Amino acid sequence: MQLDELILVSVDDHAIEPRGAFDRHMPARFKGREPKVVQNKGRDVWVFEGRATGYMGLNSVVGRPKDEYGMEPLGYEHMRRGTWDVKARVDDMNANGVLGSICFPTFPGFAGQRFQQYKEARDVSFAAIQAYNDWHLQDWCNAAPGRFIPLSLIPWWDGELAAQEIRRMAKLGVHAISLSDNPALHGFPSIHSDHWDPVWRACADNDVVICCHIGTGVKAEHASDLTPIDAWITSMPISIANSAADWIWAPMWKKYPNLRMALSEGSIGWIPYLLERADFTYRHHHEWTMTDFGGGKPSDVFKQHIITCFIEDEFGLRNLADIGEDKVTWECDYPHSDCTWPGSPEIFHAQTRHLTDLQIDKIGHLNAMREFSYDPFSILGRENCTVGALRAQARHVSVEPMLGMGGARPVREAGKPVTSGDINKMFAAADAETAL
């Protein structure tokens, strides 16, 4: 397949919510309590219920030269406009030859964790969740029909309330929610608890995928303050493997056989061994652990129910037979530091040359379109969705590195790697400085 013929749908990107995102969507009784951006000591800070969130850029470094990565944005002027402006985002998608995108939240946390914290204000927290969902659908996704796969948030503290929100958004065409890969780590019931049954039922009944982004539950740990930050970055995608095992052995698959989840930004190269180990564990231990896969294997559950994705993963792409090619998808991760913008098609093309055209189409877009109930061709026409066609619309978009955009950076010493301690100090200082 020629590069310009590729069609690419990214199942993991991120939106930086613009100023005023919540303003028109909060109900009248909560006006004045909506999340908002304030200037605090020269920085843009999101504030909700009296609590400030610094470092709202979340490593939004797309467009910078790589030697300026680590320069964390502290305000909107430090970020490429496509991070928070939907029109500019579509321009950047076109320049990158990317047709469609799932955009995870930033200020609320990738799974809306921030809105789950306020036990004393559940009513306004739920209003903020609904306001976010309405902004994300109406002002972000619907601003460019056919270009985005909408993703909603839910309240974790009430399964029935969460199910109501899933059904509300599904009626509007939203077929994905974001949830922590391990809510128990945040003080909520385990995924093995019947607390979540209304959520699983609502997702199964409405063809909604549960998206679990890395870092929302189990996290990659910093080995020590002296460890180069590269070690932490290396282990980040694989950190979700513990949660993947937890989901394989969870009870919801038997109750809701058409339910699906996604390991968002989890990569794929590690999966063959996890599945081999899962099947080994079942063979050796199920007689005393009392687990039952109904004549099947743990790996069957994974391949039937769990969607995976990758940015760059040559090893995984060489081992598709052991992963399951019908559930593998691609991601760009715009605007984070791992993203491949603006050269995503070139990298994808080089890594998939050994695959058949059908396999390339499955991984590039068909699997994502099927799993997330996404049909851009009916809106845009397939001929307008290829890398070549999209890039032809973006000749006016500069993809040259933007120098000196500003922000905060760790203290660097000549000849010394940036360490986990350096990064943690930088974030701690920012949190202290942005405290209200």
Contact 305, 293 (CB under 8 A): no
Average pLDDT score over the chain:
95
User: Is residue 13 within a helix (H) or strand (E), and if so which, with residue range?
Assistant: strand 8-14
pLDDT band for 411, please (50, 70, 90 cuts): confident
Alpha carbon separation from 307 to 109, 270, 310 (Å, rounded)? 21, 14, 11
pLDDT at position 409: 79
Q: Where are the beta strands (DSSP E) in 41-97?
A: 43-48, 51-53
Round to whole Å and give the CA distance between 249 and 245.
Answer: 7
Strands 36-40 and 176-178: unpaired
pLDDT at position 74: 86
pLDDT band for 364, please (50, 70, 90 cuts): very high
Round to whole Å and give the CA distance between 181 and 240.
Answer: 8
pLDDT at 433 over 70: no
* CB half-sphere exposure, 151, CA atoms < 13 A: 30
Round to whole Å and give the CA distance between 91 and 87.
Answer: 6
- Residue 155: asked if its preceding bond is cis (omega within 30°), the reply is no
- Mean pLDDT of the 409-419 span: 84
Round to whole Å and give the CA distance between 50 and 33.
Answer: 9
Which tens digits make up the pLDDT trace of 289-338? 999 999 999 999 999 999 999 999 999 999 999 999 999 999 999 999 99
Window from 62-66, 135-139, 215-219, 422-426 with minimum mean pLDDT: 422-426
pLDDT at position 301: 98
Residue 309, domain extent: 3-434
pLDDT band for 410, please (50, 70, 90 cuts): confident
pTM over 0.95: yes
pLDDT band for 407, please (50, 70, 90 cuts): confident
Which tens digits make up the pLDDT trace of 62-104? 999 998 888 788 899 999 999 999 999 999 999 999 999 999 9
pLDDT at position 343: 98
pLDDT at position 54: 62
Round to whole Å and give the CA distance between 72 and 337.
Answer: 10
Number of domains in the chain: 1
User: Is residue 288 within a helix (H) or strand (E), and if so which, with residue range?
Assistant: helix 271-289
In CATH, what number is assigned to the domain containing residue 54? 3.20.20.140
User: Is residue 159 within a helix (H) or strand (E), and if so which, with residue range?
Assistant: helix 159-171
pLDDT at position 56: 62
